[in-house]
A and B are shown apart, each in its own frame.
Chain A
């Protein structure tokens, strides 16, 4: 039995000041296989990884590596055993050369005091040869693409005769193409006998790459076994603890008159002759590949980009939108793609974030802020969106991605809006929160809001939109409504 597994963990417990982070977790990793550790944010994945890598000490449970029971794991011991963790931030030094990044860990481990450039060079070349990749050793690490940085991090891990490589959410910042390249490397490692523990919450990826899967929820592992024995529906059930249905949006309340009309919009090199209408109560999807002009269109409607021609008509009146302030006055709201850098002040209280776009309404006649109104406003939205916090005075950074996205939404919705533009509303949000956000947007539309969803996540577009516009190279190349909206139909036009 024990021969079959590289790493076996059973009955693992860990608590922090009385709170159970891990509660009787059992799982095993087979050599030469890819094991996915899946779970929503805060389910205990990172705690588990830190126990394996020796950063934390377990309270109870047994760990067996290569058939031998390991009583105490320290970071040095983990390295000696052949366990390597590639963290999400890759633990690289952007200011140093690729050569130094590759060599530095082994030099420190060897306890060397002086720099030996020849040995560095040899180490670095050896590292790159492990997976046969070509990267300029003299280049500064910070100048590489994320995919190349990841390759360097993998090569560096391989220098330590790694038998188990743990990758913490490696695909988060990658494009689809880069993910494919990464998977090729992962398979290459797997075939050379290395066990990979792949941490992710993306359903598609897990089914594509993994042999085994361990699903965690609230500090317990609720499933562990072969990926092939699992359907996607089961997977999502285990992950979220809920039966999640693909609730298609059914519009019940579409207005006769369009609230927004865009006529022949032009933007140099970005948009060409774009015209469409948007009615209250509908959810209009705008999709297309990267560079198709979908984001530029959204930015133009929110005053963040200047169209060079065309007309925007709002409620029957021709308007100009030179700035986001003007857009807000016209009752247009925009939720940006990158909520962390564009939509939220992470180191500010949740309540203040929610109130940010409606400060004028929440202040007294003299322009002074009323703290009580802000608190009241925040309480309404925390309740309405079931934002998972016990105190809105806590910083926004304390929340998970899905809940942060809910804050950004409430920020805009707390002002009465006519048009809400959502750009990639669920990028980086886990499955359960995604469902919540979708349901919320459906409700808002049926209450009479006009919603535009800009996304390249076709599944999302199909489920949520009552009408879809497909863009390509700055122009509208297709439009579909109702049952005609399917991934296949959209893909046909995009290509």
Chain B
């Protein structure tokens, strides 16, 4: 690597976020006497990263294109609630979870298309549009459809799928007690989505179109990109992924609660910004986003372990928003000069 390349690397937010993550793991690792990196703890953290990580990737691609999606938790919740209710009423998914996932993806896709249609046709501020659709979708789920919580009656196929494990490791806890800790197989979906998102963003012209639109929409149009179609496709796909992710969450938690994701965007979006995505669009990477999700999960997990009040988690999340937005703004200022 030559000097210029190193200099460029050190100017990227991702580089620092990665350092912070390493530092955090080292510090918490030392404080917890090594417990953090032992399977008992690290598998829990990986498990917690699955849903947040997949949501963060949804949020990332939208932010790269210069938009904001506040509605993905509502899209997700409406999709999985409706899908599980239908499966329950018809007695589906007793052995295989396939039908529930297919339904959730289709519903998510449709809701995403609704977002995409409004945004691409009326050229409105995406934050305002998705704020509106978020409320609208939540209202649809609670009011019109009267979707209920499904807990113990959740189809067996979904429960089994959610508790399936990739591997099991025997871990010796402090004090010598031996426990068997499982690593959830749901982590595979996060890994697959990470790979697909990286590929799309870096290796396809569709992904480059997102960066181009986020950088300068007028130029993207002049360069020959079909901005309208790109945006429509983007929001549709994000809706579908949100639906899928929501169904994963249902399986992992063994319950479908329509209100479970309310305000989820308020922890996901700050993480994405912290990971180097610009609030002005055009910047952001999968690597930075995953590092930031890692940081947030490690911190909240450690707080939980140390018995710190949950209010402090809000405090921490707020802090992350402020730091992320400040860094983003500073970068934009530097580019301007």
Contacts and interface: CB of A to CB of B under 8 A. Distances in A.
Contacts of B211: 93, 95-96
The 6 closest A-B pairs by CB, nearest first: A95-B282, A93-B215, A95-B215, A108-B224, A91-B219, A142-B335
Contact of A140 (B214, B224, B335): B335
A129 B162 CA distance: 58
A105 interface: yes
Given A96-B212, A105-B224, A112-B205, 18 more contacts: A87-B222, A89-B216, A91-B216, A91-B219, A92-B216, A93-B220, A93-B282, A94-B282, A94-B335, A95-B211, A95-B214, A95-B282, A100-B208, A104-B223, A108-B225, A138-B4, A138-B5, A142-B335
Interface residues of B, number: 28
Given A93-B216, A96-B215, A109 B224 contact: yes
A91 B212 contact: no
A105 B205 CA distance: 11
Contacts of B336: 142
A360 to B, nearest CB: 33
A468 B203 CA distance: 61
Interface string A359-401: 0000000000000000000000000000000000000000000
Nearest to A105: B223
A114 B224 CA distance: 16
Given A136-B4, A142-B335, A93 B212 contact: yes
Interface string A128-144: 00000000101010110
Contacts of B205: 107-108, 112-115
B202 interface: yes
B90 interface: no
Interface string A281-301: 000000000000000000000
B204 A114 contact: yes
Nearest to A90: B219
A63 B215 CA distance: 35
B29 to A, nearest CB: 36
B283 interface: yes
A94 B202 contact: no
A95 B4 contact: no
A104 B282 CA distance: 15
Interface in A235-276: none
B308 interface: no
> At the interface, is chain B mostly helix, strand, loop or mixed?
helix
B218 interface: yes
Contacts of B283: 95
Contacts of B4: 136, 138
A81 to B, nearest CB: 16
B87 to A, nearest CB: 36
B203 A114 contact: yes
A490 B278 CA distance: 48
Given A91-B216, A94-B216, A138-B5, A104 B204 contact: no
B123 interface: no
Contacts of A92: 216, 219
B177 interface: no
Interface string B305-333: 00000000000000000000000000000
A91 B223 contact: yes
Interface string B123-142: 00000000000000000000
A365 B202 CA distance: 63
Contacts of B219: 89, 91-93
A140 to B, nearest CB: 7
Nearest to B281: A95
Contacts of B222: 87, 91
A438 B13 CA distance: 50
Interface in A70-121: 87, 89, 91-96, 100, 104-105, 107-109, 112-115
11 contacts: A92-B219, A93-B211, A94-B335, A95-B214, A95-B215, A95-B281, A96-B215, A105-B223, A115-B202, A115-B208, A142-B336
B218 A91 contact: yes
Contacts of A112: 205
Contacts of A143: 335
